[in-house]
Structure formats: C-alpha cells, structure tokens
Amino acid sequence: MSALAQRWHAASLTLRSAMLFALVATLVVSMVGGYLYNAMRQEMLHRSDLQVTGRIEYYRNMLSRQFPLDRLIANTGLFENMLGNEQDILIFQLQGQAPLINVNPSSIPPPLITPTPVDKPQLPSAVKAGETAQGIPLRGVSALVKLEDGGILQITVVHVMVNEQKMLARYLWRVIAAVIAAFITIALLGYWVMQRALQPLRRMATEAAAIAPHTLTTRLSEQGAPQELQRLIISFNAMLDRINEGYQRLTQFSADLAHEIRTPVGALMGQCQVALYQPRSVEEYETLLSSNMEELERISRTIENILFLARATHAQSALHYRSVDLATEFQRVTDYFEGLAEERNLSLVYEGQGQLQVDAMLFQRALSNLVANAVRYANEGSQITLRTSRVQDKQLIQVINQGPPVTQAQLEKLFDRFYRAETSRSSHGSGLGLSIVRAIMTLHAGEVLAQCHAQPPDAEIIFSLFFPLPAPEHIA
C-alpha cells in the first residue's frame, strides 16, 4: 500500500491533478445518474399504480351500472386486448367460486391482495407490490363490485413491469457509459489544461537550470508568472541574492587570503634564496631562521584567524556561557600586555566593575584584540583606559587610547576583513583582529562601535562593546 502511495506521490503533478479531476467528475456524474435513475424508477412505479387503479375503476364502473356479467364473459378476448401488455393479469371471480375470467398468459401467481370493499374508492396507495419468479416487479390491486343482480364480483388487476424493467436496465447502462465517458474526457481535458497551466513552472525550471556560479546575478523573471508562482519566484530570487552575496564574499575572501599569504611566503622564499646563494656563518643562519620563524608565526596566526572567522558564522550554538567578573578580566588583560606597553612607555588603567554572562574564551579574545590594537597604535607615552558601565539594558565595555586621528571613512572600514589603515605601524597586523571582535559580538547578540574624538593635535580613539543584559541564552 505504501509503495502504491509512494508511486502516486512520485507521479507528475499534471497526471495526478488530471486523475483527481476525473475522479471528482466521475463521482458527480455517478451521483446525478443515480438520482435520475431512481427518479425514473419511482415515476414508472407511480404510473404503473395509476394504470392498475385506473383499470379497476373502469371495470367497477362498467359492471356496477348497465353492463351485464354474461356479456363480459363472452368477450374475454376484448379484455386481453385492452390490457396492452402480454403478461398483465386480469381475474374476475364471484366470491367463493372459480374465476370467470382469468387472463394470465405467463401463468404468474398473483400476489395476495386484500380487495377494496364495494363502497370504498380505489386509491393508488392500495396497490400491492410483488415480484415474479424471475425477479420482475409486479403492481397489483383487487376490488369488489356489486353487480346489478346483487352478486359480489372480485376484480384483480396485476401489471407486470417487463417493459419498464427493460427500459430501466437500458437507462442504467447509459448512466454507466456516461460515467466512463466523463472520466475519460475529464482526464484527457484535465491533463491538457494542467499541462498548459504548469507551463510557467517549466519555464521557471528552465531559467533556474541556466543559473551557474558565473551567472549568479541572473534573476527569474516575475513578469507573466501566475500569482501562485510570484511568491516562489520572489523567495527564489531573494535566495539568489543571498547566495550571490555569500559567493562574492567568498571570492573576495579567498582573493584577499591568497594576497595576504603570497606576500610573506614570497618574502620568506626570497630570504632563503639569498641565504643559499653563498655559504653563511652559523650566526647568519640562526638570524635568518629566527626571522623566518617570526614570519611563519604571523602566517600561522593569520590562518588561524581566518579559520576562526569562517567558523564563527555557524558557531552560535557552540557558545559556553558563564559568568565573568569584569574587574578580574581587566586585571588579567592589563597584566598580559604590561610588558608590551612598557616598551612603548604606555600606561594601562581600568575602571568600573560588573558581572557578565558570556563565553569567557571569546570574550577574552575580543578584549585582548582591542587592547593589543591600543598598545600597537596608541601614541607613545600615552594612557590606555579600559572602562565598563551599565547603559540601559546593556553592559558597555570601552577601550580608549590616544593616537593619530582616524577619519570617518576609515572608521567605517575598520571591522572589514584584512582592512588596515594606511599608517606605517599598522603593517605588522593582518587586519583581522577587529573582524574577529565583530564576529564575537554578533555571536553574543551584541554590538561593537568605533569612535574617534578629535583632541588636537591627536585624537581619542574609543572602541565600545555592548553586551545585552541578560545574555540571550538566559532570556528564554
């Protein structure tokens, strides 16, 4: 059964719809045919009943008045003719005697009928139904009539519905033929109609099939499409937009990546080639190796960061929220960067406190990326401030440093992958630190903001992290 259902579901929509149309049409035609057949049958029974009661009334009238019984008996043939149907039955019988007239060509035993009394009119409702041995329906009535001489005569009239039954059988066959014809016609017409109706769908499939990576900007045309398909086309086109955007980003990303790796690899190769050009002292090799090691570490960090960013988009569910104490975190990060800060004569201070529900590892990473930038890009001898406060339903964390002014145009690009503002100092970085900060904030349903307040001749550069309170995981 399930295999059959599977095959049905796998059949073409056109075929399925055509079959369903045809079945519905068949059902309707069958119902109408059945109704008409029944109405016709009822009508025939009614007419048969009128016929038999009419005959009884006729004989009753005739005999109760001037027509003597012996004349009637002498003319039996006349009655036989009057009956019209070869198989109809007519019995005249004086009460308690053998029948005087018994017209019954097929010798069908008449049904047992209680006769209508002399003084009662003959009503069609008194007709008695019966059946011959062959199953042909009978309609019979019997009535008493008082003759001129005072004798009581019983008249029985039975109509055998042979012709009616034949007609009904023929009619039934016609109904069946009509049902079959309706099924075939509607199935064929339905198939044709559905084929035409589904043409836009096929056109859409053809258009969609033509879309390849290099034609991702192609869109399915909404023009002339039926309403039902419009929404599908809109969704499909929107999906193409998203895919195209992702594809463009990926293309850009891999190009950037290749560029990013190519330069240091080229430099490494150059250095090695120069070193191999002639024999060198052990010290020279050591210097070369340690310089290469530094470069390789940088490449490895870049690769690791790129991988992190690639994974971060799907990592929402992998976050391990736990409570962190912000003062402790500030302490930890300032301790970590103390050495580097001292090299540039910078002072690191922090203020404010609070608790935050975050993925601790990612939070530390975001914070240290900001502090690393501050330590790297701040003016020598200036102060770096870490600050936290509660702003409405958010916990705000800021890293502030003094440095050369950053333009609005640059601020907008800082969080892009591989972006580095064109200053001589920034050539050390890979331009991924802030992209990672933004990815981490997105994972926490938070936001990151970069501002630059001019304080001539320098500027105050502020990076703000906004964490929602309570953390998204704890809202539900």
Ligand X SMILES: Nc1ncnc2c1ncn2[C@@H]1O[C@H](COP(=O)(O)OP(=O)(O)OP(=O)(O)O)[C@@H](O)[C@H]1O
- Angstrom distance (rounded) from CA 387 to CA 373: 16
Q: Is 406 in the site for ligand X (CB under 6 A)?
A: yes
Instruction: Return the number of the residue (186 or 465) whose C-beta is nearest ligand X.
Output: 465
Nearest to 328 by CA among 286, 384, 388, 375: 388
| CA angle 156–159–163, rounded 5-degree value | 170
Instruction: Return the number of the residue (341 or 374) whose C-beta is nearest ligand X.
Output: 374
Point out which residues pair with 383 in neighbouring strands: 347
95 binds, among Mg ion, ligand X, none (CB under 5 to 8 A by kind): none
Nearest to 395 by CA among 354, 437, 448, 445: 354
Q: Is 261 in the site for ligand X (CB under 6 A)?
A: no
- Shortest Cβ contact with Mg ion: which residue? 433
Using CB under 6 A as the criterion, what x/- string covers residues 75-114 for binding ligand X?
A: ----------------------------------------
Size of interface with ligand X, in residues (CB under 6 A): 21
Among 233, 461, 465, 471, binds ligand X (CB under 6 A): 461
- Please report, for the chain, how many H helices and E strands are present, in that order: 13, 12
How many CB atoms are located within 10 Å of the residue 315 CB?
A: 15
Point out which residues pair with 130 in neighbouring strands: 138
Pairing of β 394-403 and β 383-391: antiparallel
- Angstrom distance (rounded) from CA 312 to CA 315: 5
Nearest to 451 by CA among 440, 439, 466, 436: 466
Among 87, 156, 395, 401, binds ligand X (CB under 6 A): 401
Q: Is 429 in the site for Mg ion (CB under 5 A)?
A: yes
Instruction: Return the number of the residue (71 or 428) whose C-beta is nearest ligand X.
Output: 428
Stretch in the footprint of Mg ion (CB under 5 A) among 93-101, 323-331, 370-378, 457-465 = 370-378
Q: Is 431 in the site for Mg ion (CB under 5 A)?
A: no
Among 229, 366, 374, 397, binds ligand X (CB under 6 A): 374
If phi over 0 gives left and psi between -120 and 50 gives alpha, with beta otherwise, what is residue 252? alpha
Instruction: Return the number of the residue (139 or 420) whose C-beta is nearest ligand X.
Output: 420
- Angstrom distance (rounded) from CA 382 to CA 288: 34
Q: Is 419 in the site for ligand X (CB under 6 A)?
A: yes
Distance of closest approach, residue 372 Cβ to Mg ion, in angstroms: 6
Stretch in the footprint of ligand X (CB under 6 A) among 125-133, 156-164, 242-250, 421-429 = 421-429
Among 14, 373, 398, 402, binds Mg ion (CB under 5 A): 373
Q: Is 429 in the site for ligand X (CB under 6 A)?
A: yes
340 binds, among ligand X, Mg ion, none (CB under 5 to 8 A by kind): none
Length in residues, the chain: 476
Distances 310 to 215, 358, 436 between C-alpha atoms, Å? 25, 21, 10
Residue 33: CB partners within 8 Å, gap ≥ 6?
175, 176, 178, 179
Amino acid at 18: A
Distance of closest approach, residue 401 Cβ to ligand X, in angstroms: 5
Distance of closest approach, residue 426 Cβ to ligand X, in angstroms: 4
432 binds, among Mg ion, ligand X, none (CB under 5 to 8 A by kind): ligand X
- Shortest Cβ contact with ligand X: which residue? 429
Instruction: Return the number of the residue (51 or 368) whose C-beta is nearest ligand X.
Output: 368
Secondary structure (DSSP) of 398-449: EEEEEES---HHHHHHTTSTT---S-SGGGGS-S-HHHHHHHHHHHTT-EEE
- Angstrom distance (rounded) from CA 476 to CA 473: 7
- Angstrom distance (rounded) from CA 248 to CA 216: 10
Q: Is 430 in the site for ligand X (CB under 6 A)?
A: yes
Instruction: Return the number of the residue (275 or 462) whose C-beta is nearest ligand X.
Output: 462
Q: Is 433 in the site for Mg ion (CB under 5 A)?
A: yes
- Angstrom distance (rounded) from CA 135 to CA 160: 11
Using CB under 6 A as the criterion, what x/- string covers residues 340-369 for binding ligand X?
A: -----------------------------x
234 binds, among ligand X, Mg ion, none (CB under 5 to 8 A by kind): none
Q: Is 421 in the site for ligand X (CB under 6 A)?
A: yes
- Angstrom distance (rounded) from CA 282 to CA 28: 100
Q: Which residues bind Mg ion (CB under 5 A)?
A: 373, 429, 433
Q: Which residues bind ligand X (CB under 6 A)?
A: 369, 373-374, 377, 401, 403, 406, 414, 419-421, 423, 426, 429-435, 461
